[in-house]
Amino acid sequence: MAVLVGKKAPLFEADAVVNGGEFVEKFSLEQFIGKKHVVFFFYPLDFTFVCPTEIIAFQDRMEEFEKRNVAVVGCSVDSQFSHWAWLNTEKNNGGIKGVKFPLVADLSKTISENYDVLAGEYDYNEEGEMEFNGAAVAYRGLFLIDKQGIVRHQVVNDLPLGRSVTETLRMVDALQFFEENGEVCPVDWHAGDDAMVADAAGVAKYLSEH
């Protein structure tokens, strides 16, 4: 598994569905560089079980992301047409109607490969035929990207393990606090908590007060 933290987030142009039902060609994260932080997350498939709980949870807290000037973008290996159908299916029928943030179509699986979250790989069998080993879907990867397009945080869960939107917001707060104040954020830091200066004296002071 590649560690992308500290590196430029891989850019792409792909089909996407935005605002709950509008098709967009050549959607790219590049539009946010210099303007917004980005939470870019992968999920395995449309019309599944854990995935809608995560996607709807992100939508339910979009106001908190928007307040922090953060764009939220989802991505799976489904087509834009599958995304559209799922976005137009009622929640009580397994859909995610009401979700407005962009869902990117990674039908070719190249975006998942570039972010190294594809849960399998192509290989050749003994007969020399190409086959896919593993699951041809993305793990639950999440990448926090700053305004310069640099990945500052990543977490990758296995397929059955849902993520925490609360923890994602905490990491956004920590990054933005550091960018604005220069102080670093110690263990279990939340907005409003004490931070510390990143030197020996700063650590000693923090530990003596806590």
Catalytic residue IDs: 51
Cα–Cα distance, 50 to 54 (Å, whole number): 7
Cα–Cα distance, 165 to 155 (Å, whole number): 12
Q: Please, which residues have CB within 8 angstroms of residue 193's CB and are 6 or more apart in sequence?
A: 185
Q: Identify each DSSP E strand in 44-145 by its residue range.
A: 70-76, 103-105, 118-124, 130-138, 140-145
**Among 125, 90, 101, residue whose Cα is nearest residue 18:** 101
Q: What b/e readout covers 157-171, taking b as 16+ CB neighbours within 10 angstroms?
A: bebeeebebeebbbb
